[in-house]
Amino acid sequence: MDLGLKGRVALVMGASRGLGRAIAVALAREGARVAIASRSGEKLGEAAAEIGEAARPFVADASDLDRLAALPGEVAAAVGPVEILVTNTGGPPFGGPLDHDLYQWETAYRSLVLAPRVLAGAVLPGMRERGWGRIVNVGSSSTREPIPGLNLSNAHRMAAVGFLKTLSREVAADGITVNTVATGRFGTERLADANGSLEAAEEAAKHEVPAARLGRPEEYGDLVAFLCSEPAAYITGTVIPIDGGLLHSA
């Protein structure tokens, strides 16, 4: 299937490793020119080397909202106007409902809610003018079923979905789609940290995930690439789980 992404300019946040990196790889494979952003210049360099000439690295910390506001302009000057935005700002610290102080709550809010808001605000005027755009938010299955021990993620990712759903209705007639992917368990460093090791996470998945395995990052990248495609133009305002059947709700 031709996804119609050849020559499109994508900005992928958190693209130096894990799911963000897999998304960038998938978009580049489909012919997109990919601006990859992360706070780690060293890891960005490694990711850019893997992706090849289609990738251009930009150092940016998701907690620096002024930096995020300027980033799409820098991408436009170096690569071209951003037509695809993937908001992927990582996960906050683990813990229960009362385990974090208010500073940690505010930090998680900046990363998971305000960062996507700032980035979307920066790219939408150009998308509307051109009559085409794709915004995909890397979310969590916690927006459907709260996950024990991930209170900050549970709370703030739901807030992000509320914002993005509202936004999707306002820009749909402009040829812009806005979707969230509800992420299940994937073989990433964060999941390894949560379980003590990736091997432990794999073992737990055998018993707890109906598919009896962890998801592969490349499977995630393929889904996001499709949501950014021409054939996906009528999919918007949705939260799409990719979790091997982990969610109990429909």
Question: What pLDDT was estimated at residue 99?
Answer: 87
Domains of the chain: 9-182+218-242 (3.40.50.720)
Does the CA dihedral 9-10-16-17 come out positive or negative? negative
Half-sphere exposure of 245 (CA within 13 A, CB side): 9
**Each residue's pLDDT tens digit, 173-185:** 999 999 999 999 9
**Amino acid at residue number 55:** A
Does the CA dihedral 7-10-16-21 come out positive or negative? negative
3-state secondary structure 115-176: HHHHHHHHHHHHHHHHCCEEEEEECCHHHCCCCCCEHHHHHHHHHHHHHHHHHHHHHHHHCE
pTM tops 0.85: yes
**Each residue's pLDDT tens digit, 117-131:** 999 999 999 999 999
Question: What pLDDT was estimated at residue 89?
Answer: 86
* Mean pLDDT, residues 11-21 taken together: 95
Residues 6+ apart with CB under 8 A from 25: 50, 51, 218, 221
Question: What pLDDT was estimated at residue 187?
Answer: 86
**Each residue's pLDDT tens digit, 129-184:** 999 999 999 999 999 999 998 999 999 999 999 999 999 999 999 999 999 999 99
H or E element at residue 9: strand 9-13
Q: Rounded distance, CA 141 to CA 101, Å?
A: 24
Residue 76 confidence (pLDDT) above 90 = yes
Residues 6+ apart with CB under 8 A from 70: none
Residues 6+ apart with CB under 8 A from 207: none
* Mean pLDDT, residues 93-113 taken together: 91
- CA 240-216-60 angle, to 5 degrees, is 75
**Each residue's pLDDT tens digit, 185-225:** 998 888 888 788 989 999 999 999 999 999 999 999 999 99
Contact at 8 Å (CB) between 227 and 136?
yes
Nearest Cα neighbor of 139 from 214, 60, 243, 2 is 243
Strand partners, 150: 95
Residue 90 confidence (pLDDT) above 80 = no
First to last CA, the chain: 28
